[in-house]
Structure 1
């Protein structure tokens, strides 16, 4: 494989490793938010922001961790037949199916970018009592789709290397 492909795969996987490991700590942020929500409800002064903030944090946790999960190969997969295949056959199957994932991620990214631009232009807010602006979470969604798309391409390069008998 060309050096630029190896460099790309190393760079993308290092980036997604760092982002994924950092995103893991958002679980503690969610726990803190929900603990604060419980405390304020017991004190009879419930916070308006806790439910939505926990939801936004969960979205960030889930989506920013997805490329790292895909990189580690711990994503959910239908292993009825796939697990029984030889590694080279798995790579061949992955090369064929990865294009469906790349197409899907491209469509999702397109929609996310359009929605984020709309949020920036209109100052879109969630129609709730707290009324938070939505562009921060939509920007995180766009970022996660970009990271996932980059990881899918890195995965494609790894599979092509396996088919060629090389190691990245």
Structure 2
């Protein structure tokens, strides 16, 4: 169980480092687009669409890393006062629900991406980005990574629970 947990976390860490570079590219692109638009009245449909594509990649590839790092939003108002056993139950339920939602999104998005790929979907705007189906392909990939991280989080939770029970802490 520990080996699988470390393998999943290692993969998600590498994806997280990739999203860092996507974020930096996006910042550079937005800065360049703004400077060109307001200083020289130059703009490009392709560059504007690329901003949206990079944002989609950042969100879809980064959400599993955010979950791993605990950067997701959680209301600690009630959670902080729970007993360790109740916290464990809440954590398990929330991880399982996240896993279910992620798997549903993967399943629902596969036909959507397949259709976009089969028709060779591209931007409807002149000068836009061709192969729009590529960015749509990030939808099942991002949610599959989220599902994988959910499995990793569940393994981590069970691993530490087993250690705590073995030590008599719970």
TM-score > 0.5 by shorter chain: yes
Supply the RMSD in Å over aligned alpha carbons.
2.0
Distance 1:126 1:79, change over 3 A: farther
Alignment pair present for 1:94 and 2:91: yes
What's the counterpart of residue 28 of structure 1?
Answer: 24
Unaligned runs of 5+ in 1: none
Moved more, 43-52 or 8-17: 43-52
Matches within 5 A, 1:15-94: 15-41=11-37, 42-94=39-91
- C-alpha distance in structure 2 between counterparts of 1:91 and 1:107, whole Å: 24
Alignment pair present for 1:103 and 2:100: yes
Cα deviations by residue, 1:30-89 (Å, 9 ceiling, x for unpaired): 122112212432323321212211111011112211111111112111222113334443
What's the counterpart of residue 133 of structure 2?
Answer: 135
Moved more, 158-167 or 52-61: 158-167
Unaligned runs of 5+ in 2: 166-170
Count of matched residue pairs = 163
What's the counterpart of residue 120 of structure 2?
Answer: 123
TM-score, structure 1 normalization: 0.86
- C-alpha distance in structure 1 between counterparts of 2:61 and 2:15, whole Å: 7
